[in-house]
Amino acid sequence: MRTIIGNVINFVLVLLSVSCNQFNYRKVNNNQVEKWPPELPTSNEKGVATLETEEFLEVPNGVQRILDTISDYSLSVAEVAPKIELVYHDQLPNAALNGVGWSSWGDLCVASDGSVYSGTGNHWGIQKGEAFVYRWQPSTRVISKVADLNAISETKSEEVHFSKVHAGIFEGNDKKIYFTGTLDDGGLAASEEMLDKWTEHVVGGKLFQYNPVTGKTVIYADFPRATVTATTEYDAKRNILYCALEGDPEGFAFGAFDMDEKKWIYTGSPGQITNDRNFMLDSEGNVYFNGNESFEHTGVRLNSLEEEWQRTKQQKEGKVILSSKKSKILDQRIHKNADTYTTLLKYDPKINEVVLTNSFLTSEGIRSSTRESKEGYIYGSTMGGELFRYSPIIDEMKLLGSNFLKKGEYITVCVLSPDEKFLYYLPGAHGSAGFSGTPIIQYNIENRQQKALAFLSQPMVKAFQYSPGGTFGSKLSEDGSKLYVGLNGSGSGNLKPKEHDGGFGLTSFVVVHIPSEERSGN
C-alpha cells in the first residue's frame, strides 16, 4: 500500500511539474518570459545535473538498423558507461524566439589553470544580437558568465551587434583569454546593405581579452572595417593569430595578426579561401586551409571543363553572358555538377606567403583538425564525412574512411588524446546528432576502430527533457580523462518553444568523465 501511495504522489508531482512547464512555455510563446534558460531537472544549487546510466550504452534502433545492413563498417560500444555533468549557459536576457535561438558555434578553450571557456549567442540580426562567454571552474563545479561582448563594446542600439561566438576561444602566452564575435552571417559584413551600418565606434569585429585574475575584459584590437571572422587558429609559439577574414562579397581572405605588435602582417585576397571553417597548424608554424582547385593538380580536367564551358553560352535575362574569369566559371561549373575539388594551401610564415601544397581533396575540403602528433601527423575530418591523416613533412593526405556509419557525418571538431592513441568527436554537428542518438565516438588510431562511448540523446531527454543537437566545440582535460563539450540543443516536449528549430535554442556545457577502462587502448 505504501508503494502504491508513493507512486500516486510521484505521479501527481509530475503532473504539477508538467503543468508549470506548460505555463512557462505559453509565456515563452507570448514573448513574456524573462528568465532563460528554464530550470534543469535534477540539477543542484549550482545548476549542474549529473547522470550516470547504462542507458548511455544502448544503441538506438535507427543506428542498429543501419549497422545491420553494412558489412564493411564496424562500430563497437563501450563496456563501461561514462558519467556526465550538464549545466546550461544561464542568465540570458530572453529566449531568443527567432528560429535558431541561442546557439554555440565555436570551439572551447581549456586554460592552463584548468578552467574551460565556452560561448553562446542569440543568432539574431545586427541590431538585436547578443553574445556571451562563460567560464567553467572544475574545482568549484560552477559555470559563470564572464563577458558580454556588446556591453564591453558599449554598442549603441543602432550599431552592429555581435550575435555569435563562432571562432575558437584561446589562451594567449600572457595567460589571458581571447575571443571574438561575429554576425548571424559574417559573410555579409561588407555587403552593400551593411556598409553604412558600421561606425567609427564599431568598425568591424573586435578581439577581446579577458583577465581571469581581475575578471575584467577589454577590447584588445579591432578588425579591419566591415570584417569579422568565424575561423581562427592561434600559434602560441610565435604569438600569431590566424583568421579567415569574412565580409567581402568576393569571398574569404587569409589573415595573420601579430599579437605582440597588434598589427596584420599578412592579408590575402578575397576568395583565397574556399571553405573557411578550419585551419591546420603544424609544428613548424605553417598553416593549411582550403583553396580553389589548382591547374597544377588537375589541369587536364579543368581545361576540358573550360573548353566545354566556352562552347556553351549562358542565357541570363535575355543577354548572352561570357565570363573571362576562369576561376569563377569553373567554380560555378564544378559546384553545379557536384564535382568539387579542393586544393590544400599553405601559409609559410618564414616567407610570409601562401603557396600550393601537393595535396587536394575531392570534396569541399577539411572541416576539423587536431594538433600535430609526435609522429608528425595531423588528423581530422573532411566536409565529405571522411577521417584523414596529413603528414606536413612529406605533404601527404591520406583518407581513413567514413567518420561514422557508411556515409559519414558532419563533424566540426576532432580532438587528439594526450597519449595520442585516440581521436574524439561527435557526429552530426549542425543539429542532426539526435537522429543517431548523439553519439560520442572514440577512434582508435592504431587499429582504426570506432567505438561509441555513449549515445547521449535518449537518456538526456528522459532525465532532463533536454535534446542534444550537436557540437561545434570540444576539448580534453590535460590527463585525457574528461571530454568537455559545448552542446547545442533544445528542450524536449513542452519545454521546446515552437519558435526554436530542432537542435538549437538551448545551449549547455557538458563534462564527460571517460572511464579509465575505455582509455586503455585495448
pLDDT, tens only, 114-158:
999 999 999 998 989 999 999 999 999 999 999 999 999 999 999
DSSP E strands in 53-189: the ranges are 75-77, 83-88, 109-110, 116-121, 131-137, 142-148, 170-171, 177-180
pLDDT, tens only, 287-299:
999 999 887 777 7
Question: Could you tell me if residue 86 is left (phi over 0), alpha (psi between -120 and 50 degrees) or otherwise beta?
Answer: beta
- Please compute the mean of the pLDDT values over residues 422-432 and round it to a whole number: 96
Q: Backbone phi, then psi, for 367, in 5-degree steps?
A: -120, -30
pLDDT at position 495, please? 85
pLDDT at 502 over 90: no
Q: Taking the model in full, what pTM does it have?
A: 0.88
Strand partners, 273: 252
pLDDT at position 294, please? 83
d(CA 247, CA 228): 7
pLDDT at position 335, please? 34
**Does 428 or 34 have the greater pLDDT score?**
428
d(CA 213, CA 41): 33
Q: Which of 81-95, 143-157, 334-348, 438-452 has the lowest mean pLDDT?
A: 334-348
pLDDT at position 51, please? 99
d(CA 305, CA 92): 52
pLDDT at 169 over 70: yes
pLDDT at position 25, please? 38
Per-residue pLDDT band at 86 (split at 50, 70, 90): very high
pLDDT, tens only, 366-420:
999 999 999 999 999 999 999 999 999 999 999 999 999 999 999 999 999 999 9
pLDDT at position 17, please? 40
C-alpha cell at 130: 547578443
pLDDT at position 44, please? 98
Mean of per-residue pLDDT scores for the chain: 89
Q: Note whether 450 and 76 are within 8 A (CB).
A: yes
- Please compute the mean of the pLDDT values over residues 229-250 and round it to a whole number: 98
According to DSSP, residue 230 is labeled: E
Sign of CA dihedral 330, 335, 339, 344: positive
The percentage of the chain sitting over the pLDDT mark of 70, rounded to a whole number, equals: 85
Helix (H, G, I), strand (E, B) or coil at 517: helix
pLDDT at position 341, please? 85
The percentage of the chain sitting over the pLDDT mark of 90, rounded to a whole number, equals: 78
For the chain, the structural domain boundaries read 34-104+413-522, 108-277, 294-340
- Please compute the mean of the pLDDT values over residues 50-59 and round it to a whole number: 99
Per-residue pLDDT band at 112 (split at 50, 70, 90): very high
Give the Cβ contact number of residue 292 at 10 Å: 18
pLDDT at position 229, please? 99
C-alpha cell at 308: 566545354
Q: In the block, which residue shows the cell 565555436?
A: 106
Amino acid in position 126:
I
pLDDT at position 28, please? 45
- Give start and end residues of each alpha helix (H) in 196-313: 295-311
pLDDT, tens only, 301-326:
667 666 666 655 443 334 333 333 33
pLDDT at position 306, please? 66
pLDDT at position 296, please? 77
For the chain, the C-alpha Rg in angstroms (whole number) is: 24
- Please compute the mean of the pLDDT values over residues 15-24 and round it to a whole number: 38
pLDDT at position 334, please? 33
Helix (H, G, I), strand (E, B) or coil at 332: helix
Q: Backbone phi, then psi, for 273, in 5-degree steps?
A: -100, 130
pLDDT, tens only, 434-476:
999 999 999 999 999 999 999 999 999 999 999 999 999 999 9
pLDDT at position 317, please? 38
- Give start and end residues of each alpha helix (H) in 141-251: 149-152, 192-195
pLDDT at position 9, please? 38
pLDDT at position 340, please? 76
Helix (H, G, I), strand (E, B) or coil at 371: coil
By DSSP bridging, strand 449-455 and strand 75-77 are parallel
Q: In the block, which residue shows the cell 603528414?
A: 391
pLDDT at position 312, please? 54
pLDDT at position 309, please? 60
Cα-based distances in Å from 286 to 43, 240, 264, 382: 45, 11, 17, 19
d(CA 171, CA 98): 32
